[in-house]
Amino acid sequence: MSEATAKSWYWKGVRDGAPFVLVVGPFGLLFGVVGTEAGLNIAEVMGFTVLVIAGASQFAAVQLLSENAPTLIVLVTALAVNLRMAMYSAALVPHLGAAPLWQRAVMAYFLVDQSYAVGVSRFEDTPQMTLPQKVAYYFGVVSPICPNWYLMTLVGALVGKAIPPEFALDFAVPITFLALVAPALRTLAHVAAAGTSVAGALLLAFLPYNSGLLIAALTAMIVGAQVELWTKGRKA
């Protein structure tokens, strides 16, 4: 494979990842604002966003910290929200698992919802891609997303309450996940898991420290797995 081919796949990844800037920017801006309002200084906000680089778990952790939740609850909640990353990793192993260790380590750090969703969709739709092409494409996808996340978090932390309330930055959170989840609802198992998680989260919203979310997520994974087994059994 020529260097030019690798570069072309990298730029394809950049183009495919670029639209997410429209929601990742406000998402990062909102976290910067929320983090400072929760009492974190700029260094703590940026350390949080650079080390964790997972918006959903960051918001969950900051919310619990602001409610003076026990440290164990904060850690368990953040880890539970990020359990999806383990599933993302497993799904990407057939495509990227043969890459050198240092590349896999860097890709693991940049594994976010957008890089997984766009990457795995491209890899499955284009099975003729070689490993170097897939690696180049993956890094292309994250190139416009992750630096934008860092930058907009910093802007949000610096500007803070100066952002007018009518900007309603919180729109970015549901839109981001809708854009990622909707195309993935391809099978009955996916739909069953998604429906169970939504229903469970709403029904258990009264539980303290967002524990209802953890129960709903676990239940949804069990339901999705069982539906998939049932579907395979019927086909067999």
Answer yes or no: do 87 and 158 share one domain: yes
How far apart, in whole angstroms, are the C-alpha atoms of residue 33 and residue 154? 9
Number of domains in the chain: 2
pLDDT at 163: 62
> How big is the chain by its Cα radius of gyration, in Å?
19
Can you give the residue range of the structural domain that contains 149? 3-184
Answer yes or no: do 61 and 111 share one domain: yes
Answer yes or no: do 124 and 204 share one domain: no
Answer yes or no: do 108 and 87 share one domain: yes
How far apart, in whole angstroms, are the C-alpha atoms of residue 152 and residue 140? 19
Answer yes or no: do 125 and 199 share one domain: no
Count other C-beta atoms under 10 Å from residue 99's C-beta: 17
Instruction: Band the pLDDT of 3: cuts 50, 70, 90.
Output: low
Instruction: Band the pLDDT of 179: cuts 50, 70, 90.
Output: low
Answer yes or no: do 167 and 99 share one domain: yes
Answer yes or no: do 220 and 197 share one domain: yes
Q: What is the pLDDT of residues 109-152, one digit of tens each?
A: 999 988 998 999 999 999 999 999 999 999 999 999 999 999 99
Answer yes or no: do 111 and 175 share one domain: yes
Answer yes or no: do 126 and 228 share one domain: no
Count H helices and E strands in the chain, helices first.
12, 0
Answer yes or no: do 169 and 226 share one domain: no
- pTM of the predicted model, to two decimals? 0.74
Q: What is the pLDDT of residues 15-63, one digit of tens each?
A: 999 998 888 888 888 888 888 888 889 999 999 899 888 878 888 888 8
